[in-house]
Amino acid sequence: MTKRAVWTKHIGEWERSGQTQRAFCAKRGLALSTFQWWRGKLRCAERREPAAPFLPLALNASPGAVPVIEVELRSKTRLRLEGEAALRALDTVVARIR
């Protein structure tokens, strides 16, 4: 396992632990400064990763149907908008892209 993989694993475990960084590192015998350095390095690398490409949308509205927009984030969090909220959100996104 590479150092990057080891530290990615440690940081993921810390995020799920609910502990402070100091307590997490002390319990596992990790140097807090090294932990913080790797956390910063990995967060910086995440920001440089290219965003997922846009996917084409097929808009097929049946007469009388309520418009719905549902987005699932990488974290598996879902955002669902219906009716007027969905239409306003879509208008906002399209205006920002232009």
pLDDT in tens, 41-69: 988 876 665 666 666 666 666 777 788 88
Written in H, E and C, the secondary structure of the chain is CCHHHHHHHHHHHHHHHCCCHHHHHHHHCCCHHHHHHHHHHHHHHHHHCCCCCCCCCCCCCCCCCCCEEEEECCCCCEEEEECHHHHHHHHHHHHHHC
pLDDT at res. 85:
84
Same domain, residue pair 32 and 16: yes
For residue 59, give its domain range.
53-98
pTM recorded for the entire structure: 0.48
98 and 57 within one domain: yes
- Does 63 lie in the same domain as 38? no
Q: For residue 74, what pLDDT is reported?
A: 77
Look at residue 68 in the predicted model and tell me its pLDDT. Answer: 83
pLDDT on residue 6 = 94
Spans of the chain below 70 pLDDT = 46-61
The pLDDT score that the predictor gives to residue 3 is 93
Q: Are residues 44 and 18 in the same domain?
A: yes
Per-residue pLDDT at 52? 62
Q: How many domains does the chain have?
A: 2
